[in-house]
Amino acid sequence: MSALIDLSIKASDGTYKNYTISISDTPNNYGQNVTMYERQTKEEREAKQPKKYIGNGKVVWTDGRISKPEAKNDGFPI
């Protein structure tokens, strides 16, 4: 099982940059199982355009499970 996390970061000019973080159960050759890249649109994914990678890493602690958080209706999208 792997998990995808969508993340938006606000720049100093007020624009947002959107990223996706992928967490995999199986590590790569360097022991890394986390990858971060710029979020792609549906059209970019369908056109098989290459991802713009930001970096790799690894999970250093877990309670043994990854779960999806409950959605809150506080005015902020999850």
Considering the domain boundaries, does residue 17 fall inside one?
yes
Look up the domain containing 44 and give its range: 3-57
Q: What share of the chain is helix, strand, coil (3-state, %, to 5)?
A: 5, 35, 60
Considering the domain boundaries, does residue 78 fall inside one?
no
Q: Are 59 and 33 in contact (CB under 8 A)?
A: yes
Query: pLDDT grade, residue 73 (50/70/90)?
Result: low
Considering the domain boundaries, does residue 33 fall inside one?
yes
pTM over 0.85: no
Query: pLDDT grade, residue 68 (50/70/90)?
Result: low
Considering the domain boundaries, does residue 75 fall inside one?
no
Considering the domain boundaries, does residue 48 fall inside one?
yes
Considering the domain boundaries, does residue 18 fall inside one?
yes
Q: Which pLDDT score, from 0 to 100, does residue 31 have?
A: 86
Considering the domain boundaries, does residue 23 fall inside one?
yes
Considering the domain boundaries, does residue 43 fall inside one?
yes
Domain count of the chain? 1
